[in-house]
Amino acid sequence: MSSQKPETPESTPAPRPGSKGRPTRTRREAEAARRRPLVVTDRKEARRRDRERASAQRAKSQQALMTGDEANMPAQHRGPERRLVRDLVDSRRNIAEYFFPIALVFMVIALVVPLIRIDLYTVMSTGMIIVLWGGILLCVVDGFILRRRLRAALTERYGSVGQGLVGYGIMRAMQIRRWRLPRAQIKHGDAPR
């Protein structure tokens, strides 16, 4: 007869209170777990993550420009001074915002009419030149009036005119109201906020 001992499962000691319940790692294992490359080895993945992050930030900024949320707007549109400038421009009817669509129509006419009748073009060209140069002159005069108004309002409310604020307002006045970003928050004739 062979003497075999019955197999019994090894008894594992019960973990002591406060112990982690497993053996401590060796130093080599701990260093290997901490070891990471200084430069990302998967450049494709890093570029993808950067593009996603930049895309999310752009979408957030674009949404802020549409809704008027100043906290998430790009830096060039933030601040109470810039809000005042936007409101002053949006509260008035600017000649430039109407002139540029009219000038575009005249340019299209100048391209199409010579194809139809050349003798009509010579008569129309003189009239178009007068209208276009007259419109440019009106836009310049309106720009000077807007400049004075912006400087006076900024000086009254903030004590000085910050750098670039007047130019910011004049450039906004040249844009068609519907296409302005940040979107106009007040109607024509309303007082600035």
- Percent of the chain at pLDDT > 70 equals 90
Q: Is 45 within a domain?
A: no
The per-residue pLDDT for 171 is 96
The per-residue pLDDT for 11 is 60
Q: Residue 125 sits in which domain range? A: 79-179
The per-residue pLDDT for 4 is 58
In terms of phi and psi (left: phi > 0; alpha: psi -120 to 50; beta: otherwise), the region of 41 is alpha
- What are residue 114's phi and psi, to 5 degrees? -60, -25
Report the distance separating Cα 92 and Cα 134, nearest Å. 21
DSSP state of 189: T
Is the confidence at residue 164, as pLDDT, over 90?
yes
The per-residue pLDDT for 5 is 57
Q: Is 34 within a domain?
A: no
**Local confidence band at 147 (pLDDT 50, 70, 90 cut-offs):** very high
Q: Is 28 within a domain?
A: no
Segment 143-166 mean pLDDT: 95
Q: Is 108 exposed, middle or buried (0-12, 13-18, 19+ CB in 10 A)?
A: exposed
pLDDT tens readout for residues 97-122: 999 999 999 888 888 877 777 777 77
Number of domains in the chain: 1
Q: Is 60 within a domain?
A: no
Q: Is 166 within a domain?
A: yes
Encoded tokens for 91: 């509260």
Q: Contact, 159 vs 63, CB < 8 A?
A: no
Q: Is 114 within a domain?
A: yes
Comparing CA positions, the residue from 92, 179, 105 lying closest to residue 135 is 105
Q: Is 130 within a domain?
A: yes
Q: Is 52 within a domain?
A: no
Q: Which amino acid would we find at residue 43?
A: R
